[in-house]
Amino acid sequence: MRSRAKAAKLNIMEHRDRRSLEGVYSVRQSAGFIMNYRYAEERMMRMMAGWIALTPEIPVKLEMARQVYDCALHADALGKRLGELRSQAQVSRPPNEAFVAFINAIEDKEQWEDTIERLTGIFRVLKPHLVAHYSAHVEAANPVYEPPTLRILAHLVDDEKRHIERGLVLLERLLDSPQKHRRATAWQAHLEDLLAAAGGVIGRENDRAQATQLGRSR
């Protein structure tokens, strides 16, 4: 399947054996990942909040409103954790400009008739990608010194899986013709290409080494 091929391209969490007294990830590495996660959650919150007035389907409006609230809680929990990791609290950071472009592509579907593209971007591409990364981080992090991070990410995984399930139900109701199915599939493929080019939510090794501040949200 195309989505599996894309996941392979992204090299989720780029697992290598980094075991030391610090654990698999150092405090600095973990803080960097959390800044990346917070960026994605914050941008999701903002884009879905902005879409509510632009979306004609009432069930979609209501579900977006519920998920905006959850995303706000996620961003807040991740931001507070940064302070505990000896980093500046409540900071969001994208891994690179390519990931910003990917997020912008999802957000910029602002026409009245773009509900299919909006739901496809969030529930077929972005949220499943975040679930994969959060789950991988939980598996790799040190359970002795990182339990707060593990608790936060485990909660986020549960929330995001529930969001995806509800969002896909709404999307399937809108895909009532072969043309609409093709439309959603084409948009999903385009977004997956952008996401793969960015290296995913944490980018690539050279992006993390630079650790530059990019994007619409800080």
Q: What is the pLDDT of residue 18?
A: 42
The conformation of residue 124, written as its DSSP 8-state character, comes to I
| Range 24-210 classified under CATH 3.30.420.40 | no
- At 169, list the tokens: 């139900």
Q: What is the pLDDT of residue 207?
A: 64
Contact partners, residue 215, CB within 8 Å, separation at least 6: 39, 43, 92, 93, 94, 97, 99, 100, 103
What are the extents of the domains in the chain?
24-210
- What is the tens place of the pLDDT at every residue in 174-211? 999 999 999 999 999 999 999 999 999 999 877 655 65
Reference 96, options 88, 86, 104, 107; nearest CA is 104
Q: Which residues of the chain have pLDDT under 50?
A: 1, 4-5, 7-8, 15-21, 212-218
Q: What is the pLDDT of residue 21?
A: 47
Q: What is the pLDDT of residue 142?
A: 80
Q: Would you list the DSSP string of 55-74? A: ---HHHHHHHHHHHHHHHHH
